[in-house]
């Protein structure tokens, strides 16, 4: 039997079977794992392909894989074989949640359809599917990847400088956003199950989540009819809300209302701008954002940017220097917030979800492929002879198939 007694966290006692690969699904399940869920990562014979998405690597696993697979145990399992699917069904007998991101129709082809099989066998199971576009509709069943969906849902068109070509966002935020939405959906279903004692099917798509994240551009279009365009670092609805040059470093300043703008002008000793008719209200500042930026930078270029940001912050204004990745990782506040986790070779971001009584934790490093295959079969009550046969037949694997 599985022993959850030594696990702490808000989700301690919940068992998640994770069939997902790449980013969206694994990011979702790492969130659950960080907060106490027992996550069993089931990998196909060749493994999660992101193990190869380097450089950089540690011990043959890419940093890309390492970043979203801590606090999990790994089993290699060939689900294309009937015996492999039989093993999965035995694991699901104890599971609370199943997460997968196969192409729609794959689970059905394997005889693992939620509606006709899984719901009947495991009525309390929560089955979360992450796909590109869902299984039906004009794009149903098509493969979806982060950058493709970014382009299709308008992200490229509003990213970059005004004169640049449509540009991919430098983060896989469609994948990661879908992972976040999926984690929220799973938690909602877990809470609802406390009342109904029933599981349900969660239909999560990159396409839907990317559209939901297109704020405020979609609502701006819906209410104005104007197609949003790239505005560089400037906010489409607020000014000043942009990067500015200073004597030492570029900074980002946000002043979202008249009171904040007046404070900014006072801190810069530019009281003349407060009553300037070009800048009296936000709509004026948006319409004259180029003039405003020039006026502000004429003062800012004489000031140390780092010191200014501290001074503005203490005055109640949002401002910060533009950092590169190294500066962000090594910043004292990053360390103070426990957002840098180090354990021997493992160096990663911490959990951003801070719970006072049941905090998340890093209990184990990302697993090597199939590192727990034998152990897991034993814990789920498979007899020794059956374990030996499954391993010899390569139904259950401890090493990646080449």
Give the model confidence (pLDDT) of 197-221 as tens digits.
Answer: 999 999 999 999 999 999 999 999 9
Same domain, 147 and 255: no
Give the model confidence (pLDDT) of 82-114 as tens digits.
Answer: 999 999 999 999 999 999 999 999 999 999 999
Average pLDDT over residues 310-336: 95
Centre a 10 Å sphere on the Cβ of residue 167 and count the other Cβ atoms it contains.
16
* Domain final position from 303, 329, 355: 329
pLDDT confidence of 162, banded at 50, 70, 90?
A: confident
Task: For residue 236, tell me if it sits in a domain.
Answer: no
Question: Is the omega angle on the peptide bond into residue 56 within 30 degrees of 0, that is, cis?
Answer: yes
Task: For residue 226, tell me if it sits in a domain.
Answer: no
Task: For residue 3, tell me if it sits in a domain.
Answer: no
Task: For residue 9, tell me if it sits in a domain.
Answer: no
For residue 173, give the CATH number of its domain: 3.40.50.10540
Same domain, 267 and 378: no
Same domain, 142 and 291: no
Q: How many helices (H) and strands (E) does the chain have?
A: 17, 14
Domain with 285 in it: 241-329
Task: For residue 222, tell me if it sits in a domain.
Answer: no
Has residue 190 got a pLDDT over 80?
yes
Instruction: Go through the chain and tell me how many residues it has.
Output: 402
Has residue 117 got a pLDDT over 90?
yes
Same domain, 75 and 126: yes
Task: For residue 227, tell me if it sits in a domain.
Answer: no
Quote the number of domains for the chain: 2
Joined together, the tokens standing for residue 94 give 């104890």
For residue 323, give the CATH number of its domain: 3.30.1540.10
Same domain, 20 and 89: yes
Taking the C-alpha atoms of residue 306 and residue 263, their distance in angstroms, rounded to an integer, is 18
Same domain, 154 and 198: yes
Has residue 4 got a pLDDT over 70?
no
Taking the C-alpha atoms of residue 40 and residue 16, their distance in angstroms, rounded to an integer, is 6
Kindly report the CA angle at 346 between 342 and 348, in degrees rounded to 5?
65
Global confidence as pTM: 0.93
For 120-161, the DSSP string reads HH-TT-EEEEEESS-SSSTTTT----HHHHHHHTTTGGGSS-
pLDDT confidence of 6, banded at 50, 70, 90?
A: low
Task: For residue 32, tell me if it sits in a domain.
Answer: yes
CB 25 within 8 A of CB 18: yes
Same domain, 178 and 126: yes
Same domain, 100 and 181: yes
* Domain final position from 329, 362, 379: 329
Same domain, 119 and 261: no
**Catalytic residue IDs:** 175
Same domain, 160 and 37: yes
Taking the C-alpha atoms of residue 338 and residue 352, their distance in angstroms, rounded to an integer, is 9
Centre a 10 Å sphere on the Cβ of residue 264 and count the other Cβ atoms it contains.
21
Same domain, 201 and 148: yes
Lowest-confidence range among 2-6, 21-25, 277-281?
Answer: 2-6
Percent of the chain with pLDDT over 90: 97
* Domain final position from 274, 304, 329: 329
Same domain, 119 and 36: yes
Give the model confidence (pLDDT) of 36-79 as tens digits.
Answer: 999 999 999 999 999 999 999 999 999 999 999 999 999 999 99
Taking the C-alpha atoms of residue 38 and residue 71, their distance in angstroms, rounded to an integer, is 8
């Amino acid at each position: 039997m599985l022993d959850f007694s030594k696990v702490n966290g808000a989700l301690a006692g919940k068992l998640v079977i994770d069939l997902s690969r790449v980013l969206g699904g694994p990011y979702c399940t790492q969130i659950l794992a960080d907060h106490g869920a027992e996550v069993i990562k089931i990998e196909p014979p060749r493994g999660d392909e992101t193990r190869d998405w380097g450089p950089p690597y540690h011990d043959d696993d890419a940093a890309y894989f390492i970043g979203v697979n801590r606090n999990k145990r790994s089993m290699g399992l060939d689900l294309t074989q009937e015996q492999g699917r039989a093993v999965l069904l035995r694991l699901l007998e104890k599971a609370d949640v199943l997460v997968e991101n196969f192409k729609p129709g794959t689970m059905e082809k394997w005889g693992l359809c939620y509606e006709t099989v899984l719901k009947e066998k495991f009525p309390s199971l929560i089955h979360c599917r992450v796909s590109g576009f869902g299984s039906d509709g004009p794009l149903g069943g098509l493969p979806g990847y982060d950058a493709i969906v970014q382009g299709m849902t308008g992200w490229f068109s509003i990213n970059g400088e005004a004169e640049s070509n449509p540009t991919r966002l430098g983060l896989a935020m469609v994948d990661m956003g879908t992972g976040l939405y999926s984690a929220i959906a799973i938690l909602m279903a877990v809470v609802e199950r406390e009342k109904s004692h029933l599981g349900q099917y969660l239909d999560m798509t990159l396409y839907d989540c990317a559209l939901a994240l297109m704020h405020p551009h979609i609502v701006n279009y819906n209410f104005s009819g104007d197609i949003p365009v790239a505005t560089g670092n400037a906010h489409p609805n607020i000014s000043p809300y942009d990067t500015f040059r200073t004597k030492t470093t570029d900074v980002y300043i946000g002043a979202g209302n008249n009171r904040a703008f007046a404070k900014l002008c006072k801190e810069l000793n530019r009281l003349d701008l407060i009553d300037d008719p070009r800048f009296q209200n936000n709509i004026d500042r948006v319409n004259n954002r180029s003039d405003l930026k020039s006026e502000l930078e004429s003062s800012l270029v004489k000031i140390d940017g780092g010191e200014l940001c501290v001074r503005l912050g203490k005055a109640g204004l949002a401002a910060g220097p533009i950092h590169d990745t190294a500066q962000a990782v090594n910043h004292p506040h990053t360390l103070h917030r426990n957002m840098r986790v180090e354990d021997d070779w493992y160096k990663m971001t911490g959990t951003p979800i801070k719970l006072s009584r049941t905090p998340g934790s890093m209990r184990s490093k990302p697993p090597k492929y199939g590192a727990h295959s034998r152990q897991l079969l034993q814990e789920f009550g498979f007899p020794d002879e059956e374990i030996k046969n499954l391993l010899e037949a390569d139904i259950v694997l401890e090493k990646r198939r080449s």
